[in-house]
Amino acid sequence: MVHLFDPQRVDKGELHMKILVIGSGGREHSLVWKLNQSLRVTKIFCAPGNAGISKLAECVDISAEDVKGLLNFAKREKIDLTLVGPESSLTLGVVDAFEKQGLRIFGPTQKAAILEGSKVFTKKFMQKYDIPSAGFSVFRKRERAIEYVERVGAPIVIKADGLAAGKGVIVAQTLQEAQKAINLIMKDRAFGDAGNKVVIEDCMVGEEASFLAFTDGKTVLPLPTSQDHKPIFDDDKGPNTGGMGAYSPAPVVTRKLEKQVMERIMLPTVKGMAKEGRPYKGMLYAGLMIKDGEARVVEFNCRFGDPEAQPLLMRMKTDLVDVVEAVIGPQYRWHGSVFPGPSGHQETGKTGNGKNHAADGQGNGQGRTALQGDALCRLDDQRWRGQSCGIQLPLW
């Protein structure tokens, strides 16, 4: 385990931390597993957790959507740090509630989590900031939506506007399937209020990959690439599930493509959210469709992917607590950012000093990405006060 913090500068209380993980799935199990490796953590709670998690943490019978219950528990138990797993907790404002009470928590605020909470907002946001994605139309009336698909034909993609546990996106191969999808979302209300509006997108083809990054709202620290499998049947057939498995790295994401994703998608998103008055801090996850060496955004998520968190956290060499604290700051700062190559040919990783850190999200032209040697690094800039911590350590 590699540590980013300096033990001589850390309060003794921070070496005996109590952690709360919110959620109950494979993602949360992975987070708990990784946190258990930290020398700084003495107790982990998970709300509500599951049977597997109970072997590593104390499970608490509080729903991930019970913001008041979670807040009261964290205050009563004097929780030092909370990590949010599911998107539903984020869109309900759990981060806002905790921060209002002075509690440290990892994840975007409710205003920022709209990036996942509303597909309508996100499509219009990407259009405004010229972030590559599919063409789209938005509909509030079911009849208008059906008229539209009858006019443009299939294949076409139908998306419920709100959260639907990863199941609100339907790729319709025929006109009949498109009509059925619209009725399922807007008439049958299969996803409740998430179906008040639908986004109808052009159908993108290619290979999908997941691109996740830590961000403190000003810098973006990318994780290695990964790829999950959503369709329930073999050969990418059948309806989408919440995820049938994942692996990392994703060979489809080359060095050149990773640079493009950072410059055209991740950095503009962080910069754009700040301009919109929705500063984004936490984990930013871009679901990508890749074709002919170009990436377009399928969707944004505002948390660790499930199941992508499983292979990514298994590959992580650094203490997760250190990285999370660098994100939530402000008293913590990036100390380095070097990862194995996206195609998997650098599994041992590389090391770099404090100059080789995350890309600046302010868009001043100095925080551009660059390839240096065999590792993808980030150029120093004045917004990082031009300082180098001189520490050499691999994160992955």
CATH of domain 141-196: 3.30.1490.20
pLDDT for 281 equals: 96
Compute the distance between CA of residue 148 and CA of residue 144 in angstroms, rounded to an integer: 6
More confident residue, 229 or 261: 261
**pLDDT value at 393 more than 50:** no
**pLDDT value at 352 more than 50:** no
Q: Where are the alpha helices (DSSP H) in 67-213?
A: 67-76, 87-91, 94-100, 114-117, 119-128, 142-152, 175-182
Using an 8 Å Cβ cutoff, are 115 and 300 in contact?
A: yes
pLDDT for 346 equals: 33
Torsion 273-277-279-285 (CA) sign: negative
Q: Which whole number is the average pLDDT over 24-45? A: 96
Highest average pLDDT, of 165-169, 311-315, 327-331, comes from 311-315
Retrieve residue 19's tokens. 């952690």
**pLDDT value at 363 more than 50:** no
Q: Which whole number is the average pLDDT over 126-141? A: 98
Highest average pLDDT, of 175-184, 324-333, 376-385, comes from 175-184
**pLDDT value at 5 more than 70:** no
Superfamily of domain 207-384: ATP-grasp fold, B domain (3.30.470.20)
pLDDT for 362 equals: 43
Determine which of 57-71, 233-247, 310-324, 377-391 has the lowest per-residue pLDDT on average: 377-391
Using an 8 Å Cβ cutoff, are 21 and 83 in contact?
A: yes
192-237: per-residue pLDDT in tens? 999 999 999 999 999 999 999 999 998 999 999 999 887 888 887 8
pLDDT tier for residue 396 given thresholds of 50, 70 and 90: low
Q: Which whole number is the average pLDDT over 358-368? A: 40
Q: Which whole number is the average pLDDT over 362-383? A: 30
**pLDDT value at 187 more than 60:** yes
pLDDT for 4 equals: 52
85-114: per-residue pLDDT in tens? 999 999 999 999 999 999 999 999 999 999
The architecture of the domain spanning 7-110 is: 3-Layer(aba) Sandwich (3.40)
111-123: per-residue pLDDT in tens? 999 999 999 999 9
Residue 81: enclosing H or E segment and its boundaries? strand 81-84
Average pLDDT, rounded, for the chain: 83
Cα angle 308, 310, 311; round to 5: 80
Going by the DSSP 8-state scheme, the letter that residue 311 receives in this structure is H
Retrieve residue 61's tokens. 């019978």
**pLDDT value at 375 more than 50:** no
Using an 8 Å Cβ cutoff, are 353 and 390 in contact?
A: yes
| 3-state DSSP assignment of residue 145 | helix
pLDDT for 359 equals: 52
Domain boundaries, the chain: 7-110, 141-196, 207-384
pLDDT for 1 equals: 59
**pLDDT value at 279 more than 80:** yes
pTM of the model: 0.82
Give strand pairing partners of 222: 213
**pLDDT value at 347 more than 50:** no
Using an 8 Å Cβ cutoff, are 83 and 22 in contact?
A: yes
